[in-house]
Structure formats: C-alpha cells, structure tokens
Amino acid sequence: MTGDQKPHDWRTAMPWPGPETHKHARGRLGVVSGRSSQTGAARLAARGGLRIGAGVVSLLCPVEAVAVLAPAVEAVMLKPFGDPEVLAELAEGLDAVVIGPAAGINDATVAHVQALAGTGAALVIDADGLTVFAGWPTDLFAVLDRDDVLTPHEGEFRRLFHDLLALGREQAATEAAVRAGAVIVLKGPRTVIAAPDGRRVINDNGTPWLATAGSGDVLAGMIGGLLAQRMDSFDAACAAVWIHAEAAAGFGPGLIAEDLPDRLPAVLARLWPGQ
C-alpha cells in the first residue's frame, strides 16, 4: 500500500489470538441478511468475517429467511428479527455489524441502519445500505461515527457524493471521509481507503479476478470481522482490502466469490508472526 501510511504498517495491528484467547474475546460480528430470496450475499459476508478471525458470527435475519438460512450455515448462528427495535436489541451485544449486502432498497433498510447506529456496534455499510440513502445522504452521515466504514464502488460513491469524483479518486475519498465522518473504502483496481482524520492509502495489489459478483460482500464481512476484534477501523479496512486481493490473486482465473473465504487462511498464515 502507498499513501500517508508506511507500506503495510497495518500488519503490526493485526489482532492475533494468544494462548488464553477464547471465542468471545475474538469479538462478536453480526451480518444483516436480506429476505428469504436474498440471503446469499449475507452468507458470503458472514463467512468472510468468520475466516478473518471473528470469534462468534451471527446472521441477523428476517423471520421469513430462517428456513432458507438454517440448512445453509454451520458455525454461523441465526438470530431472527421482525422489526428495527428487535434488530437493535440483537445487536446490543455485538462488536460490529455488516449491513447492506442484498438488504433491499427500501424503507426497512433505512430503519435498520438507523436502529443499528444507536447500538454502539461498529458498522460496515455496503451495497443497498448505501444506495438506499442516495436521495438524502446527510440522513446517513448524521448517524455515523468514526468507527464506521462505508464500502462503495464508484457507482455507489457517486450516489452519496455526486460532486466529489471530479476531484480524482484519492481526493474524493479523502473529502468523503470528512463529510461522512467515517472511514471510506472506495473500491476499484486501486482501492482508496480514507479516514476522517486525513489518513489515506491506495491499495497496490489489486487484481482483475475480483471482478465477480459477491466479492465485495466477502470484503465487507472481512472488515467487519476485524472490527469485531477491536482493530482500528482504518487499519481494519486497509488490512481487509489487501488480504482480500491477495487471496484472489492466489486463486487466479475462475475465481468466484464463494472461493474467497477459504483462501484467507493461507494468506493469514503468511502474515502470522508465529509462523
């Protein structure tokens, strides 16, 4: 990575477990699922969060989605909810929550983001969780804090920050982080990660094999998994982006999003100082 940090200095902040570490000490991550016909994206995010090291991962799902999800998950737990108030209650004990992948572009997603913002969990907001605020981005920014992370591709970025891309990707991401008051991950061949305090890096190991449906959902889950382990939000975003690309490059042609979580252990093993 290049930019306002020394290359790869997020490595020193990686939350490696020690001999006495237990699963709850490794953090609790929640991922909000879409409706019964739209559960795949959340499952990808949850698996990414689990593989990156979060100790306990739960899918927070509409009641109607339980029957679809129950046969499709193993280590990931299910927590059904019927309204935003119950969702907020379920998130109270979580360290981080991912919301947006296939969440739906509707009033319910707006209400869910707003409910989660009051829980104290660090939020990773992606995909539909960004697009749903296209007409009123200040409503989103008003509920964010500096621990939260937004992960737009250029189309989603333009919907929230329509005037900034003319500045160039790097400056646009920097200005967006200040405006939103949260970390911005502007995805692309050279992903830009920017924090509200002015830190900024450009990821330098991007790969075209990530141009496949669902890869961004895995990335959102990875960032959430590192946040759940109490990693600084900017460092977590930098680490996840680099590890995500490294995993994809190691697989190469034919990669699909489902392959990515199972590629993470090999990358993590190379980074682990105990290796």
User: What's residue 226's pLDDT?
Assistant: 98
175 has a pLDDT exceeding 90:
yes
Share of the chain above pLDDT 90, in %: 96
Domain residue spans of the chain:
25-261
Q: How many residues does the chain have?
A: 275
pLDDT in tens, 63-81: 999 999 999 999 999 999 9
- What's the pLDDT band for 274 if we cut at 50, 70, 90? confident
Share of the chain above pLDDT 70, in %: 97
- What's the pLDDT band for 7 if we cut at 50, 70, 90? low
User: What's residue 8's pLDDT?
Assistant: 53
Contacts with 8 (C-beta within 8 Å, 6 or more apart), sequence order: 1, 242
Report yes or no: 57 and 29 within 8 Å, Cβ to Cβ.
yes
One-letter amino acid at 223 equals I
pLDDT in tens, 188-225: 999 999 999 999 999 999 999 999 999 999 999 999 99
- Which strands make up the sheet holding 183-186, listed edge to edge? 2-3, 200-202, 192-194, 183-186, 149-150, 122-125, 96-99, 28-32, 56-62, 77-81
- C-alpha span between 179 and 208 (Å, rounded): 30
The dihedral formed by the CA atoms of 105, 148, 191 and 140, expressed in degrees to the nearest 10: 40
Average pLDDT in the chain: 96
9 has a pLDDT exceeding 60:
yes
User: What's residue 3's pLDDT?
Assistant: 59
Report yes or no: 209 and 175 within 8 Å, Cβ to Cβ.
no
Contacts with 259 (C-beta within 8 Å, 6 or more apart), sequence order: 251
- What's the pLDDT band for 88 if we cut at 50, 70, 90? very high
pLDDT in tens, 222-253: 999 999 999 999 999 999 999 999 999 999 99
125 has a pLDDT exceeding 80:
yes
* Average pLDDT over every residue of 14-27: 94
User: What's residue 161's pLDDT?
Assistant: 97
pLDDT in tens, 128-157: 999 999 999 999 999 999 999 999 999 999
6 has a pLDDT exceeding 80:
no
Question: How many alpha carbons fall within 13 Å on the CB side of residue 17?
Answer: 15
Does CATH number 3.40.50.170 belong to domain 25-261?
no
108 has a pLDDT exceeding 60:
yes
